[in-house]
Amino acid sequence: MPLREHLVELRRRIFLAAIGVVVGAVIGWFLYDPVFTALQQPIVHVAQERGSLIALNFSGIATSFDMRVKVSFFLGVILSSPWWLYQFWAFVTPGLNHRERVYAFGFLGVAVPLFLAGAFVAWWALPNAVKLLTEFTPTGATNLIDAQTYLGFVMRLMLAFGLAFLLPVVMVALNFAGIGTAATWRRGWRWAVMIAFVFAAVMTPTPDAMTMLAVALPICGLYFVALGVCVLHDRRVDRQRIAAGLPRLDGTMDDEPGGAGATA
């Protein structure tokens, strides 16, 4: 596909994904009250636990309206995740045959739960993060947290974790599209593990190692599961290429040393 057609297709997929987010935001508008109550619950709990004044502060006349709009769009991203994830898959893998396009259902069946699981892990870590970060408030002082700053913190945390848990699905999608081979992912596993632990350490601002491990280990496990799927897919592609008289993905032929037809 020429570059211009790629750009047109990208614009189309982004537009369709944006429409889905807007539709989800409309639904999120009506879910604002219970969701906002849940969002501020960690702050309410810490305030009650310490018997001090810690609360969200709406500092401007339009802040409450801005909060409702932002929470609605945040919910729109969460609710429409199956739709925009499908748009991503459809853009990355446009050249798949009919049989391989069926994998889109498997892609969504894995990607959506993983994205939601990542968001849930962030939600699980949020109370500890709020408790730790508000511990620096001096005794007798009040801590009026800017509502929009707090919301931005929660949104970044949940989206970052959701996208981090999507890493294995992106790996498989790129592998199916012929962009990244299993050998590429295998060579980079040490970097992947290091990045997973650095990400967990930065995104979980709590002093205990257990929270960091609870975040990093699932990401590492998902990476290796995705690597296994890529290995199986590359083996199937190699068999098809050899049958057609083409070299393997690594450039070797069947009768070359190290190939399937080589003797010991």
Q: How far is CA 151 from CA 33, 36, 58, 154, in A?
A: 14, 9, 12, 5
What DSSP designation does 260 have? T
Tens of pLDDT, residue by residue over 140-195, are 777 888 888 888 888 888 888 888 888 888 888 788 777 778 888 888 889 989 98
94 & 65 share domain: yes
Question: Domain boundary at 158, 193, 221, which?
Answer: 158
**In sequence order, what are the residues at sequence separation of 6 or more whose Cβ sits closer than 8 angstroms to the Cβ of residue 170?**
none
Question: Domain boundary at 158, 184, 219, which?
Answer: 158
46 & 99 share domain: yes
Question: Domain boundary at 101, 135, 158, which?
Answer: 158
DSSP 58-119: --STTHHHHHHHHHHHHHHHHHTHHHHHHHHHHHH-TT--HHHHTHHHHHHHHHHHHHHHHH
142 & 234 share domain: no
Question: Looking at residue 1, what is its pLDDT?
Answer: 56
Half-sphere exposure of 237 (CA within 13 A, CB side): 19
Tens of pLDDT, residue by residue over 53-71, are 778 888 878 888 888 998 9
Owning domain of residue 205: 166-256
